[in-house]
Structure 1
Amino acid sequence: MAEVQTIQDDDGLGSLPPSPGLSGSGTQTPTYSRENLEIVPEGHGQQKKKTRQRLLRGLQRISSSPTLVQLGRSRSQSASSRLGAGPGAYSCVSLAPTQPTSFGQPSAISGSYFDYSGAPTVTPGTPFAITPYETPGYEGFGNVLGVRKVEAAAAAAAAATVSASIALPANVRSRRRARQLWVDMPHELKVHIFSYLQPKELVRASRVSREFHKMCFDGQLWTCLDASEFYQEIPADSLAKIIAAAGPFVKNLNLRGCVQVEHDKRAEVMVKACRNLMFATLEGCRNFQKTTLHHLLKNNTKLCQLNLTGLTAVTNSTCKIVAQSCPQLEVFNVSWCKHMDARGIKTVVEGCPKLKDIRAGEIKGFDNTDVALAIFKTNKLERLVLAGCEELTDKALRTMIHGFEPEIDILTSIPVVSARKLRHLDLSRCNRLTNQGVQVLGHLCPDLEGLQLSGVTNLTDEALEPVLATTPRLTHLELEDLMNLTNSLLSEHLAKAPCAPILERLSVSYCETIGDTGMIPLLRACVSLRSLDADNTRISDLSLAEAAAAIRVRSPRRSCLQAKPVPGLSMVVYDCSHVTWTGVKEVLRSNAENTRNGLAEIIALKCFYGWQMTVDEHTKRVLRGDSLAATRLERKWADYMQANEEAGAVGSGGRRRRRRAREARTLHAVETQGDQAPQGGRRRAMTAACAVM
């Protein structure tokens, strides 16, 4: 940086810039003449005044700074060192570049100086103005006007003045206001805010402060403790502490899968703390001991739902304690409890008058007539799950529905008993049942909504005909693996049954005698069908085409164009030998057409695994509303399948057909997988035709 010096004569005539050729080492030193203000070289015989000598000494002192450049220091450093040396040198630093002199050194004068009137003059290129200020006079030099180097002093003084009253940042102010708002908030409102957090989030928030810890374990927040979502991430000690802290307030306890709960002090603490349970789920807690379980049941007399699925600690004595201690029980689930039998179920049925739901899958002893008679007498059961109870016989089932030796109506041959209130009945895998046992469900279960008979291999059409004719509310029907069912059951009975318009789910998988003859009338009659499992059957492409047509007829239009379609029917046609790619293509074409026409429903198809990738990609495009891309994928897949069939044909042109199949396969792979598609096949050279010939 170049330096700017100003000098004032003793007479106050003003400031003059020194000559660019001044130097303090071996150069001729000029002097200023008062009469004509000319520079007169020294040694011409003129009488030197004392004032001029002082001026020359000052000029020599000022002009010595250019020699410091040769020492390798910057201009600003030399100026600051000179200014700090004493009060005799006053200079100002300019940001403008220095100009070289005739002697090869940069000049000490650049850009700005003070004219004789004392006003600052700023030449072009000077980045800031220089303001003079007065300094006290020095002995032998007179009153010298100094210049301010920069305005840093004034800026520092102003900043010091402002810093005393500077405002807080906006985020700090908002944080203080939020903290004050939280302090002034009522306790009930704070608890209501924390009630929106999940148990796992409450535990994390309790680490923030003591206030948060106390509030996060407030009993009002732990009326429902569901550990099934995080049981793998929480140790038994922490879980026991949470339950012990909030135990008196817990009403819904779900410990499904918490195998870390063992019979020790932790389990005892949990059991003693929970005394107001209404819903308890201990499914999968295999380490729960019998004494701990019995203590829990005795301390909670308000239990309404109890799930003990798979517990080895459950025995008939456990069921006796439930019957004595839980009179409000409505749902009782003891499926897969191997150390008990149907006599425990009988005890609970007789001791819990409000019982509506019994789930006793794979429990032994249901061939006992006394147990069946107890179930008949209660007549309050709405759900009865006996899946896998292989000992269940026709006689026991008849006793559950008809009672023991009921009065028979002479005209209708129907027992004169009150209708059962069953809404869901699961008899899957009860292999000892026959047509005579299942027929008793007809005429006496009018409220039946779900019936599961999968795996009862001895059943035929004769067993289901009276049931379908007398269950107008049936929505779920599972007939999987019934080899003896025929098409007439679907076309003549189910399609014409009073439940046909409201039937939502039907499973006839592995019914190998079912074909298009029974399926097509069913698809036309069941307008509310949402799920159809027909894998390993004899249905063909005609059933798929009929399903596509049924969806087009019953599907409503979307409320707006931006709305996306949804699956209206889920079809499973695995391993159906008569289903070909043509039928699958028809479903894909119908889905794209429904989307293009603004319909709200499509078909979600599960088919042969070799085609499933294309079907899934097509369904994905349809669900996001891109019917053009779906149509393009369907067309290329059809070209590939057709070329593949032609390639396997016998006759001339086989090589050409195989090449077309490879090209179609490549195009289809690119459309389905994009850049990740494998580039198969041989690459042939492209030769151009001869232009001359």
Structure 2
Amino acid sequence: MSNPLAESVLEAHTPTGAPQSPTVIPPPFNEQPPKLKGRQRLLAGLQRVSSSQSVQRLSGSRSRAYSANGKGSVSCISLQSTQSLNTPSLGSVLTNELSMGYSTAPTSAVTTPGIQVPVFDESARFRYLSKLNGKTSAGMPTELRPTTKSGLTPGIAEVDEDYFFRPKSQHAQQIRDFNFWRDLPSELKMEVLTYLQPREVVRLSVVSKSWHKICFDGQLWATLDAAEFYQDIPADALVKVITSAGPFVRDLNLRGCVQLSERWHSRGLSDACTNLENFSLQDCRIDRTSIHNFLYANSRLVHINLSGLALATNSAMKIVAANCPKLEHLNISWCNHIDNRGIKRVVEACPNLKDLRAGEVRGWDDTELMLMLFTSNILERLIIMNCDTLTDESLAVLMEGQDSEVDYLTGRPIVPPRKLKHLDLTRCRGISDAGLKTMVGNIPEMEGLQLSKVRGVLDSTLTDLLPSTPMLTHLDLEELEELSNTVLQCLANSPCAPRLRHLSISYCESMGDSGMLPVLKTCTHLRSLEMDNTRISDLVLTEAAAMMRQRAPRTILQGKPDFKPATGLRLVAYDCQNVTWTGVREILSRNAEVFVTTHATELPPLQKRKPQTAVTPASSSSSSCSTENLPSRPPTPPRIHITRSSSFPSEIIQLKCFYNFQPTVEEHTKRVLRGDFAAARRLERKWAEFMIAQEEAGAAGAGSRRRRRRAREAQMMHADEAEGGEQGLLGGGGAAGAGVGGGRRRRARSGGCAVM
């Protein structure tokens, strides 16, 4: 209840027309306010929070929203209304519920005597606004308050936004949802996915529907080579890829995809691809009908590989002849149900056929087929290995034709040269030396010739054939026991020597150092040399190391660089009785040799700056006298800059030797290839010390006898080779000239003196 005495006093002291300041009549000092609990304590805490400087741009309607239910306002802010700037504060305005039972009517508490100030809770914090003037009226409505140019009420400082409310700007623009992959053009998406492996692309397809659509897009699978990942991809995913990208696929390689054996007809897999150019079904489990469907649906085929398919027959060759006129490469090796009849149809209907691979196919004794190949003269590669039906007569028709005009001087038919570049006659047991003679002078463009395991080939045939093949790069003479060093000497002097890259004379037990040394000196571009089970010795390995030193330029680098060489020559020399650890060490030493050179460069002397001092006549005379009395300084030594450079072998020799030496050789090669030359040299030194100690341990026993016996055998072998070379020069060449089974009596040799 209000106090009538206080109201009467206030009216008496308030002048007429003057604004009445609100005040609060405090309770007696002996009464303490009760402690707030529960909801009232929460409201008091909210009052303190909202009393902070966050009253900027608060409208009157929003202030009244807190007290709409008749309860105390949460935002109870203490404002002061002054008559002048020097007048002290008159009190606070409290709500009915927060006034703790005292009247909140406007009174003049300062000028009314006998009024006591109530004691409030100190935890309640009040904030008074500063910079007020006499025109400010905090209790007036917002629309009636005078405003300034900035839009704020005068006397109220600009404060931050409310703690519980942050008004949105009218001009704020909504941030755009940026998705890099979604906004990227489809062409760039395809380009990015091309850098992934096929297995990774299939895994990405499960991310979302959009990713699934992109991953199985046909443009991404224009070239599908499943030979590298067919073991890692399930059959369903592979079928999905083929059926989705069928019209876009140009190159399809399903080599080894045995998981598709039961799915060729389930989803139309054999009819999905219609624009194939390169097609391979090597070693697949596919039925005959599916093969025919693939060949029917693709009329643009250029390359067909059906090797190893037992169900490929002459009917498939008939479809190829009728439907694939652009065919250039055909591989039907190990197709047991295809013979000369199917091949003739393909050769007759495909005028662009350049590569024919038909190993272990029957019917090569058909002279009509060979005459068709001779007449067309387009074939560049012919692989007919393991064809026992090939005879000397059919080979002669292929090289010289039938009823051709004969040259009376040379006795050979006058025919245009063949365009064959690669001919493989490995294990064709039906031909002999007579059939190979028909190739002399008829294959000038030959690059690869494989005569491995062809019986009856003599030195005279090859000595006539090799000079007529200036483009030869690959020569395989494995297991031709009748050949001797004469063939190798002829090869070293032939025009194809600088071009030769691969040479195999394995199991040619009559060939040795006298034939291989000239080859290594002239054939300096060799990349692969197989000499296992021959009579070569350590001299050949030493010459091979010297050839690599001259052929491969060394790499010079400064400091301590991390350099890794490459493999330049693969050398096979196992099961050679005359090759010892000394020759192997020559190869290892050459692979790990590093030369370090030091260069000294003289630098110009440094120029010392002289201190600048004031010069007077007296000082100049005294300085001249002092310089005359000082002793002469010794000359400054020149500055020298030392640089070190190392030269490394750019190419090394990969050696395959005796099985007891091979682990050390392989470890040494690994260290060299990874650039650890110091470790490689350390391994070589330790191995040499071990071999020397082993030989010294067996010097008094069987080891010395074994070495003397090998020395005698090597001496006899070189003597036989030397005598054979002399007989060859006198007209007794061939196997007889080599001293092996020649019919002449060997001279008795004593093994007493190994030197003489």
- State the alpha-carbon separation in 2 of the partners of residues 242 and 554 from structure 1: 49
Amino acid paired to 2:293 = H
Following TM superposition, by how much is the alpha carbon of 1:461 offset from its aligned partner in structure 2, in angstroms? 1.4
Following TM superposition, by how much is the alpha carbon of 1:246 offset from its aligned partner in structure 2, in angstroms? 1.7
- State the alpha-carbon separation in 2 of the partners of residues 505 and 331 from structure 1: 24
Which protein has the bigger helix share? Answer: 1
Q: Percent identity?
A: 50
Indicate whether 1:290 and 2:288 are aligned.
yes
* Map of 2:325 onto structure 1: 327
- State the alpha-carbon separation in 1 of the partners of residues 453 and 269 from structure 2: 42
Whether the aligned pair in 1 keeps the contact of 2:277 and 2:300 (CA below 8 Å) is yes
* Map of 1:277 onto structure 2: 276
Following TM superposition, by how much is the alpha carbon of 1:158 offset from its aligned partner in structure 2, in angstroms? 10
- State the alpha-carbon separation in 1 of the partners of residues 678 and 332 from structure 2: 53
Structure 2 vs 1, CA of residues 614 and 159 (structure 1 numbering), >3 Å: closer, same or farther?
farther
Amino acid paired to 2:693 = A
* Map of 2:512 onto structure 1: 515
Amino acid paired to 1:335 = S
* Map of 1:470 onto structure 2: 468
- State the alpha-carbon separation in 2 of the partners of residues 578 and 368 from structure 1: 47
Indicate whether 1:647 and 2:697 are aligned.
yes
* Map of 1:242 onto structure 2: 241
Following TM superposition, by how much is the alpha carbon of 1:346 offset from its aligned partner in structure 2, in angstroms? 1.7
Whether the aligned pair in 2 keeps the contact of 1:558 and 1:565 (CA below 8 Å) is no
Amino acid paired to 2:565 = P
Structure 2 vs 1, CA of residues 148 and 616 (structure 1 numbering), >3 Å: closer, same or farther?
farther
Whether the aligned pair in 1 keeps the contact of 2:301 and 2:327 (CA below 8 Å) is yes
Q: Residue 318 of structure 1 is aligned with which of 298, 316, 330? A: 316
Following TM superposition, by how much is the alpha carbon of 1:223 offset from its aligned partner in structure 2, in angstroms? 1.8
Structure 2 vs 1, CA of residues 343 and 213 (structure 1 numbering), >3 Å: closer, same or farther?
same
Residue by residue over 1:522-569, the C-alpha shift from the partner in whole angstroms, topping out at 9 and shown as x without a partner, is: 101101011111111111111111111111111112264544222221
Indicate whether 1:201 and 2:251 are aligned.
no
Question: Which region of structure 1 is more displaced relative to structure 2, 191-200 or 346-355?
Answer: 191-200
- State the alpha-carbon separation in 1 of the partners of residues 216 and 441 from structure 2: 54
* Map of 1:350 onto structure 2: 348
Whether the aligned pair in 2 keeps the contact of 1:570 and 1:603 (CA below 8 Å) is yes
- State the alpha-carbon separation in 1 of the partners of residues 377 and 682 from structure 2: 59
* Map of 1:363 onto structure 2: 361
Structure 2 vs 1, CA of residues 606 and 216 (structure 1 numbering), >3 Å: closer, same or farther?
same
- State the alpha-carbon separation in 1 of the partners of residues 161 and 388 from structure 2: 95
Following TM superposition, by how much is the alpha carbon of 1:387 offset from its aligned partner in structure 2, in angstroms? 0.8
- State the alpha-carbon separation in 1 of the partners of residues 264 and 512 from structure 2: 62
Q: How many residues align?
A: 516
Provide the secondary structure at the position in 1 that maps to 2:654: strand
Following TM superposition, by how much is the alpha carbon of 1:209 offset from its aligned partner in structure 2, in angstroms? 1.7
Following TM superposition, by how much is the alpha carbon of 1:161 offset from its aligned partner in structure 2, in angstroms? 6.6
Whether the aligned pair in 2 keeps the contact of 1:384 and 1:424 (CA below 8 Å) is yes
* Map of 2:566 onto structure 1: 566
- Write out aligned runs for 1:587-602 (5 A): 587-593=587-593, 597-602=647-652
Question: Which region of structure 1 is more displaced relative to structure 2, 495-504 or 401-410?
Answer: 401-410
Q: Residue 391 of structure 2 is aligned with which of 393, 410, 413? A: 393
Structure 2 vs 1, CA of residues 422 and 161 (structure 1 numbering), >3 Å: closer, same or farther?
farther
Whether the aligned pair in 2 keeps the contact of 1:278 and 1:302 (CA below 8 Å) is yes
Q: Looking at both structures, which has the greater relative contact order when contacts are Cα pairs under 8 Å and sequence separation is at least 6?
A: 2
Provide the secondary structure at the position in 2 that maps to 1:364: coil
Indicate whether 1:616 and 2:666 are aligned.
yes
Amino acid paired to 1:578 = N
Indicate whether 1:524 and 2:574 are aligned.
no
* Map of 2:626 onto structure 1: none
Amino acid paired to 2:256 = G
Following TM superposition, by how much is the alpha carbon of 1:183 offset from its aligned partner in structure 2, in angstroms? 3.2
Amino acid paired to 1:533 = E
Amino acid paired to 2:278 = F
* Map of 1:494 onto structure 2: 491
Following TM superposition, by how much is the alpha carbon of 1:216 offset from its aligned partner in structure 2, in angstroms? 2.2
Provide the secondary structure at the position in 2 that maps to 1:567: strand
* Map of 2:677 onto structure 1: 627
Following TM superposition, by how much is the alpha carbon of 1:418 offset from its aligned partner in structure 2, in angstroms? 0.9
* Map of 2:586 onto structure 1: 586
Whether the aligned pair in 2 keeps the contact of 1:552 and 1:594 (CA below 8 Å) is no
Structure 2 vs 1, CA of residues 642 and 161 (structure 1 numbering), >3 Å: closer, same or farther?
farther
Whether the aligned pair in 2 keeps the contact of 1:431 and 1:456 (CA below 8 Å) is yes
- State the alpha-carbon separation in 1 of the partners of residues 466 and 299 from structure 2: 41
Provide the secondary structure at the position in 1 that maps to 2:242: helix
Amino acid paired to 1:583 = G
Provide the secondary structure at the position in 1 that maps to 2:438: helix
Whether the aligned pair in 1 keeps the contact of 2:263 and 2:269 (CA below 8 Å) is no
Following TM superposition, by how much is the alpha carbon of 1:506 offset from its aligned partner in structure 2, in angstroms? 0.6
Following TM superposition, by how much is the alpha carbon of 1:404 offset from its aligned partner in structure 2, in angstroms? 1.3
- State the alpha-carbon separation in 1 of the partners of residues 124 and 422 from structure 2: 98
* Map of 1:402 onto structure 2: 400
Indicate whether 1:340 and 2:346 are aligned.
no
Following TM superposition, by how much is the alpha carbon of 1:200 offset from its aligned partner in structure 2, in angstroms? 2.7
Whether the aligned pair in 1 keeps the contact of 2:556 and 2:647 (CA below 8 Å) is no
Indicate whether 1:260 and 2:310 are aligned.
no
- State the alpha-carbon separation in 2 of the partners of residues 642 and 159 from structure 1: 94
Whether the aligned pair in 1 keeps the contact of 2:573 and 2:657 (CA below 8 Å) is yes
* TM-score, normalization by structure 2: 0.63
Residue by residue over 1:365-392, the C-alpha shift from the partner in whole angstroms, topping out at 9 and shown as x without a partner, is: 1111112112111210110000111121
Q: Which runs of 5+ in 1 are unaligned?
A: 1-49, 62-79, 88-134, 150-156, 166-172, 655-693
* Map of 1:186 onto structure 2: 185
Provide the secondary structure at the position in 2 that maps to 1:260: helix
- Write out aligned runs for 1:107-146 (5 A): 143=119, 146=122
- Write out aligned runs for 1:9-158 (5 A): 143=119, 146=122
Q: Which runs of 5+ in 2 are unaligned?
A: 1-27, 45-93, 102-115, 126-159, 169-174, 596-645, 705-756
Amino acid paired to 2:582 = T
- State the alpha-carbon separation in 2 of the partners of residues 628 and 242 from structure 1: 51
Provide the secondary structure at the position in 1 that maps to 2:245: helix
Structure 2 vs 1, CA of residues 163 and 421 (structure 1 numbering), >3 Å: closer, same or farther?
farther
Whether the aligned pair in 2 keeps the contact of 1:336 and 1:362 (CA below 8 Å) is yes
Amino acid paired to 2:257 = C
* Map of 2:88 onto structure 1: none
* Map of 1:670 onto structure 2: none
Structure 2 vs 1, CA of residues 437 and 182 (structure 1 numbering), >3 Å: closer, same or farther?
same
- State the alpha-carbon separation in 2 of the partners of residues 484 and 535 from structure 1: 16
- State the alpha-carbon separation in 2 of the partners of residues 162 and 202 from structure 1: 50
Amino acid paired to 2:574 = Y
Provide the secondary structure at the position in 1 that maps to 2:445: coil
Indicate whether 1:420 and 2:395 are aligned.
no
Residue by residue over 1:151-209, the C-alpha shift from the partner in whole angstroms, topping out at 9 and shown as x without a partner, is: xxxxxx999679999xxxxxxx9x964x1x33333333333333444433332222222
Provide the secondary structure at the position in 2 that maps to 1:506: strand
Residue by residue over 1:110-152, the C-alpha shift from the partner in whole angstroms, topping out at 9 and shown as x without a partner, is: xxxxxxxxxxxxxxxxxxxxxxxxx999899964674699xxx
- State the alpha-carbon separation in 2 of the partners of residues 264 and 185 from structure 1: 37
Whether the aligned pair in 1 keeps the contact of 2:264 and 2:270 (CA below 8 Å) is no
- State the alpha-carbon separation in 2 of the partners of residues 289 and 553 from structure 1: 56
Structure 2 vs 1, CA of residues 542 and 332 (structure 1 numbering), >3 Å: closer, same or farther?
same
Q: Residue 484 of structure 1 is aligned with which of 469, 482, 485? A: 482
Whether the aligned pair in 2 keeps the contact of 1:565 and 1:622 (CA below 8 Å) is yes
Q: Residue 300 of structure 1 is aligned with which of 284, 295, 298? A: 298
Whether the aligned pair in 2 keeps the contact of 1:594 and 1:601 (CA below 8 Å) is no
Following TM superposition, by how much is the alpha carbon of 1:412 offset from its aligned partner in structure 2, in angstroms? 2.6
- State the alpha-carbon separation in 1 of the partners of residues 652 and 264 from structure 2: 56
* Map of 2:216 onto structure 1: 217
Structure 2 vs 1, CA of residues 186 and 577 (structure 1 numbering), >3 Å: closer, same or farther?
same
Whether the aligned pair in 2 keeps the contact of 1:542 and 1:583 (CA below 8 Å) is yes
Whether the aligned pair in 2 keeps the contact of 1:309 and 1:334 (CA below 8 Å) is yes
Amino acid paired to 1:641 = M
Amino acid paired to 1:440 = T
CA RMSD of superposed structures (Å): 3.3
- State the alpha-carbon separation in 1 of the partners of residues 233 and 582 from structure 2: 53
